[in-house]
Amino acid sequence: MESRTNGEMTTRDCFFDQSGSGYYPYMPLNVCCLTVQKDAIMDRNEVTKKIVAAKVARKLTWAEIAGKIGKSKEWTTAALLGQMTLDAQQAGVARDLFDLTDEETAWLQIVPYKGSLPGAVPTDPLIYRWYEIVNVYGTTIKELIHEEFGDGIMSAIDFSMDIQREPNANGDRVQVVLSGKFLPYKSY
């Protein structure tokens, strides 16, 4: 392992495993030329916190950010909250929007640990409603998908989502459209 006297280490030090057998899984090759400080952020959650703080300080909306990144507001929000991987160009736009360091920008290009809500049952009221919807309607959704398509699942990978405001005289409604490819189970 390379050592430096000026307190820096290279990503070779950070991202090669100790046995020297290679890169950690999912490490994009284009981030291997960075030099980072030993006290640098080494947690994707810290980058997410910085992005959200900058978004609030700059009074940006997710739709405005998505327009600059070139993806839907739904995908962009998920990505910048740590649930998706940005490519180099998208991460560069995020770097410029949020004044990220090279290391923070590199974290945006690493495959995240998805589904990383803390705890088994969400405590945020809005997220809990989704948990409640799945608890109440999950078996109905499953039954109707199986009746229409057969034995299989709806993909959350080949997937899109659209969230819109639906004006209503009794109070505006939230319209959420989820679209996922049907993946049948195979017999073997």
User: Does the active-site annotation cover 155?
Assistant: yes
Distance separating alpha carbons of residues 6 and 133, to the nearest angstrom: 54
In whole angstroms, how far apart are CA 154 and each of 114, 116, 120, 183? 17, 20, 22, 6
Q: 46, 129, 173, 179: which one is catalytic?
A: 129
Active site residue 166: no
Annotated active-site residue 187? The verdict is: no
Catalytic member of 58, 116, 143, 155: 155
What is d(CA 113, CA 44) in angstroms, rounded to the nearest whole number? Answer: 9
Q: How far is CA 103 from CA 33, 95, 162, 184, in A?
A: 10, 10, 31, 40
Q: How far apart are CA 93 and CA 77, in angstroms?
A: 14
Compute the distance between CA of residue 76 and CA of residue 70 in angstroms, rounded to an integer. 9
User: Per the residue annotation, which of 46, 58, 116, 132 is the catalytic one?
Assistant: 132
**Catalytic residue ranges:** 129, 132, 155
